[in-house]
Structure 1
Amino acid sequence: MSSSWTGLARGAVAGAAGTTARGTTTYLGGAVRGRAAGPETLRNPWERTGRLSAPGPLAATATGVAIGSAAGVLRAAGLRLPTVIGGPLLGLAAMAAAGGPLTAWRISDPRTWSTTDWVADVVPHLVYGVATHATLVAVSRVAESREPVPPGSPATLLRAAALGAATGSRSTAGVTAIALTSGRDDPGAVAARLGSRAGTVISALAAAGELVADKLPATPSRLALPGLLPRAVLGATSAAAMARRNQYDTTLPALVGLASAGAAAALGVRLRAAAARRFGSDKPGAFAEDAIATLLGWLGARRAGRRAALITAEPLAR
């Protein structure tokens, strides 16, 4: 079988896995919101209207498998992207494939969606993208008989959750924490570049700028798409960079970082609103959130001790 056909088959398997993860996330999101997550209730991508019905689960599954197949062919052709980049790109491709026809057929108008609608659409597609890419990498690694990377330890997943939560509060907190605790010789391209002199300076300046911008009245809600999407991507990126730096597999930490970033963003908005009601201003809540994000970033990115580092490296030496 040619490499293209092999990549197509592997991608189809990965796309099916990603579609399952997306469907599960959509269902759980509907359950959390207190309503069924079926075609009749979700605004996008399986919305029903009085005139037409949007594509159902079968079409959504076919789309997910097709996008995964295309990713498999590209990987077989030599395009190898890390999950923290390839995952969100596949998620965006799935969003475009699902939302484009809805807009073209005037079944749904994204301009009328609320923040809740956008979150309900963006998060499942990001989960689809990360799950599809991670599955494709894992399947390809096994098929190519490449040495597997040790899975993330419980401590690594806790660090990933801390970095994601820090990013949900302040979008630059996670990557800045990685930059300040990494060096140019560290494993992993992301950690090494962030740990360079330029990476450290740029990330620190971005973090300082965000601390100021966060307090301005004109700053848009972090739950709007322009605020939520970067937090999800950067949460996954910082968590994956930490895992790769510690020589663990990045797949599960990236998913944990993505999920905790979204959860922390929503929780932070509620806490700020509660502080505004209590103190007449959200500034006390904002400064408290600054401190919490800094602490979580440090806890997630701090270097392991010498003994822990030796234990981490031991599986790779065998």
Structure 2
Amino acid sequence: MTSLLTGLLRGTAAGAAGTTALNVTTQADMALRARPASDTPVETVSALADRADVSIPGRRRERRHRLEGLGGLAGTATGVAVGGVGGALRSAGVRLPAVIGVPVLGAAAMLASDLPTARLGLTDPRRWASADWAADVVPHLAYGAATHATLAATFRADEQAEPDRRPATLGTLARAAALGAATGARSTFGTAALSWRARPGDRAPGGLLAGRFGRGAATLGALGEAAGDKHPAIPPRTAAPGLAPRLGLAAVGADVAACRDGHEGGPGVLVATAAAAGAAFGGQHLRALARDRFGTDLPGALGEDALAALLAWWGAGRSAG
């Protein structure tokens, strides 16, 4: 299996290729229809700077030029980041065919670009005309096509060299869902459970978790998170800094378990990632209900600890055969 870091690096390169395709398609549309460049990137960066109380230096024209540069950089960073996530997921075994992968990657880049502007009140997609949708959808489909093609090309040699895996079963998907839900509630519990279930002879990287260092580090991480989770200064898990590692660790954990048992990892990775997102949001909601009922969310947090530990232990179990 390709390492997560290698997948991330390949994904960023693929995202850069996709961003180039998006920019070329957009500029070709501007040249053909003689339409002006969109002011949305500039307005988005300006609104975000105002919300963060960050001053963009310079006079009016200088400030405008800086905002244009920052808007372009933000768009490039978005495309590269989406590609990086796609590469990381592919390294974890998520291999979608082009007919699915191209629109999924394009939609992800489009959502990452349009959602912030909509949340800031700078645009309302519900009021877009057909030409507006075409001007946004077509370049993002070009992004998806270039990104998917680059990912497929850079991963082809590794994927052909991998040993055949058995198709995922209902049992392996159920365990992946449990492992993902546990990781969504406590990001390190799934890794800790996998380390205690691992054996020295397991396929890499599962066997690495069976050593003293792997188990010790995973256990300390889980205990530290269980203690720190109750501190009021900890940011909400549904914010990007808390949610992103949960989704990533859920995907990696599900693929590690599938690789260990000789099953295809892609379906389990998708199930685990969805379960992690659901558990992250659902757990936060239940904690809020406990706070309203008891005046503190400690009972809900302790109950969540126990449930996450049980789900992680069962989810990390080995499939029959």
TM-score, normalised via structure 2 length: 0.61
Query: Per-residue deviation at 1:72?
Result: 2.8
Q: Name the structure 1 match of 2:181.
A: 165
Q: Partner letter of residue 232 of structure 1?
A: L
Who is 2:31 aligned against?
Answer: none
SS of alignment partner, residue 56 of structure 1:
helix
Distance in 2 (CA, whole Å) between partners of 1:287 and 1:229 is 23
Is 1:174 the counterpart of 2:190? The answer is yes
Q: Tell me the amino acid that sits aligned with residue 290 of structure 1.
A: D
Counterpart selection for 2:138 from 18, 42, 58: 58
Instruction: Return the offset for 1:14.
Output: 4.4
Q: Is the 8 A contact 1:177 1:301 kept in 2?
A: yes
Q: Paired residue for 1:272, among 281, 287, 312? A: 287
Kindly provide the CA deviation profile for residues 1-58 of structure 1, in whole angstroms up to 9, marking residues without a partner as x.
Answer: xxxxxxx9xx9x945522334578899xxxxxxxxx9x9x844699994699696111
For residues 46 and 59 of structure 1, the distance between their equivalents in structure 2, rounded to whole angstroms, comes to 22
2-structure distance, mates of 1:56, 1:47: 18
Alignment match, 2:237: 222
Which residue in the other structure is 2:167 paired with? 151
Check whether the contact 1:161–1:256 (CA below 8 A) recurs between aligned residues: yes
> RCO higher in 1 or 2 (8 Å CA, sep ≥ 6)?
2
Q: Relative to structure 1, is the Cα distance of residues 18 and 46 closer, same or farther in structure 2, using a 3 angstrom cutoff?
A: farther
Instruction: Find the counterpart in structure 1 of residue 315 from structure 2.
Output: 300
Tell me if the contact between 1:235 and 1:254 (Cα under 8 Å) persists in the aligned partners: yes
SS of 2:205's partner is: helix
Structure 1 portions without partners, runs of 5+: 1-7, 28-36, 81-136, 310-318
Determine if contact 1:165/1:260 at 8 Å carries over to the other structure: yes
Q: How does 1:233-272 map to 2 (within 5 A)?
A: 233-272=248-287
Aligned residue identity for 1:64: G
Contact 2:181–2:311 under 8 Å retained in 1: yes
Give the Cα–Cα distance (whole angstroms) in 1 for the partners of residues 195 and 98 of structure 2. Answer: 33
Query: RMSD over aligned Cα, in angstroms?
Result: 3.5
The question of whether the paired residues in 2 share the 8 Å contact of 1:174 and 1:235 is answered with: yes
Check 1:181–1:44 CA distance in 2 against 1; reply closer, same or farther (3 A cut): farther
Query: Which letter does structure 2 place at the counterpart of 1:242?
Result: A
Distance 1:195 1:239 in 2: 16
More moved, 18-27 vs 155-164: 18-27
Q: CA deviation at 1:249?
A: 0.7
Alpha carbons of structure 1 residues 181 and 286: separation in structure 2 relative to 1, 3 Å:
same
Q: Deviations over 1:216-259 (max 9, x none)?
A: 01000001111000000101111111111111011101111111
Partner in structure 2 of residue 20 of structure 1 = 103
Offset of residue 59 of structure 1? 1.1
Q: Would the alpha carbon gap of residues 147 and 234 (structure 1) be closer, same or farther in structure 2, given more than 3 Å must change?
A: closer
Contact 1:15 1:67 in 2 (8 A): no
Q: 1:51-90 alignment to 2 at 5 Å? A: 56-76=136-156, 78=157, 80=158
> What is the SS of the residue equivalent to 2:231?
coil
Amino acid at match of 1:162: A
Letter in 2 for 1:237: V
Aligned partner of residue 285 in structure 1, secondary structure = helix
- TM-score in terms of structure 1 length: 0.61
SS of residue matched to 1:289: helix
- Cα separation, 1, equivalents of 2:223 and 2:163: 41
Deviations 1:43-87 (A, max 9, x none): 4699994699696111111111111222233235x5x3xxxxxxx
Q: 8 Å contact 2:107–2:140 — kept in the other structure? A: no
Q: Residue deviations 1:188-213, cap 9 Å, x none?
A: x1211122221111000000100111
Q: Distance in 1 between matches of 2:120 and 2:272?
A: 29
> Following the alignment from structure 1 to structure 2, what is the Cα–Cα distance between the partners of residues 60 and 48?
22
CA distance in 2, matches of 1:155, 1:244: 15
Q: CA deviation at 1:290?
A: 0.1
> Match of 2:202, SS?
coil
Aligned in 2, Cα 1:73/1:271: closer, same or farther, shift over 3 Å?
same
- Residues 22 and 46 (structure 1 numbering): CA distance in 2 closer, same or farther, change over 3 Å? farther
User: CA offsets, 1:103-146, max 9 Å, x none?
Assistant: xxxxxxxxxxxxxxxxxxxxxxxxxxxxxxxxxx5xxx5xx9x8
